Structure 1
Amino acid sequence: MLTVRLVLTGVFLVSVLTKLRTRRAFGDFTTAVRRLGGLPSRFATPAAVVVVAVEAGTVVMLAAPGLDGDARVGLLLAGGLLLGFAAVLVAALRRGTTVACRCFGGSGEPVNRRHVARNVVLVACAVAGAATSSAAGGTPVAPPAAALCLIGASVAVGAVVLLDDLVHLLR
């Protein structure tokens, strides 16, 4: 469960930071939100702000579970958000939208089924993490085990964030 929390925390943290790193990056994301969501221009910036704010809140909920150590709320929030993203991407694909997602900033890869699949896999991870999480927070993780979880999660976050680049490299 710790590895799942670390993966989702890392994915959402990178997502937030890459969208906010420059004014241009946020502008590109706002354009993507408008086009992917089929929104009128006047709703694009507020929608983009809400997405980034909810992602940032998800990072906090995953990184700092409740006082009782229960991480299920953060995991379910992450899963719900990712499911919403997948639904928006599916709708955009059905409309024939060929804009870059800007999920992680600079990738110019047009939205495709791979992006939907990535989100569905992350939803499954969040649901599995929530299902195996106990209300009492579980037992503390020994430092060597926590280090292994962190290393594994770092590799997984890198694979998720760099998915488009990795696929392009392998082609």
Structure 2
Amino acid sequence: MVYAVLTLRLVLMGVFLVSVIAKLRTRRAFGEFATAVRRLGGLPIPLGPPAAVVVVTVEAGTVALLAAPGLDGDGRAGLLLAGGLLLAFAVVLAAALRRGTAEPCRCFGGSDDPISRGDVARNAVLVVCAAAGAVMTPAADAAPVALPAAALCLLGASVAVAAVVLLDDLAHLFR
């Protein structure tokens, strides 16, 4: 179980890290993200940038908690925060879809594709990953981690992160 939890933690950490970096890489990228947050969340214009700052700050905090699980005792806080944040994102995206909003998500930067049910499904799958990691954490805490196995977890998690981040591009490829 320790390796399953480690892999889930690495996947979530990677997804949030790519998300934060993509949003903060340029002023323009952050501005586009702030606009997307405002439009997808149905917020007034002045609330877009502050809401975007809050989202990116919480995402960065999630990365920190996932990277240093010993900070909260048993390591569940990062998984629970990731799951809660992803659930909130799924709810906001689903509500925007119901309103007929055709805005790009900007979850991972510059995609111009409008949000879709696939974005909601992606977040739902990641919520399940976070919940599974949180449930398995007590059993995983007692076992030591072997370096070669941890390296395999990192490799597998890297492939999963790439698939999540490039999901829109992969969907275009197969259409």
TM range (shorter): over 0.9
Distance 2:79 2:23 in 1: 22
The whole-number CA distance in structure 1 between the counterparts of 2:37 and 2:8 is 27
Question: 2:85 is aligned with what amino acid?
Answer: L
Which of 76, 92, 95 lines up with 1:72 in the alignment?
Answer: 76
**Which range moved further: 89-98 or 62-71?**
62-71
**Divergent runs of 4+, >4 A:** none
Q: Distance in 2 between matches of 1:161 and 1:67?
A: 27
8 Å Cα contact 2:65/2:71 also seen in 1: no
Distance in 2, matches of 1:136 and 1:92, equals 38
**What's the TM-score, normalizing by structure 1?**
0.97
Letter in 1 for 2:91: A
**Residue 34 of structure 1, aligned match among 38, 42, 66:** 38
Alignment length (residue pairs) = 171
Pairwise CA RMSD of aligned residues? Answer: 1.3
Question: Given that residues 68 and 135 in structure 1 are in contact (C-alpha distance below 8 angstroms), is that contact kept between their aligned partners in structure 2?
Answer: no
Equivalent of residue 48 in structure 1, options 52, 64, 67: 52
Higher helix fraction: Structure 1 or Structure 2?
A: 2
Residue identity (%)? 74
- Shift, 1:109, TM fit: 1.0
Q: Does 1:101 align with 2:102?
A: no
Contact 2:41 2:96 in 1 (8 A): yes
Unaligned runs of 5+ in 2: none
- Give 2:126's aligned residue: 122
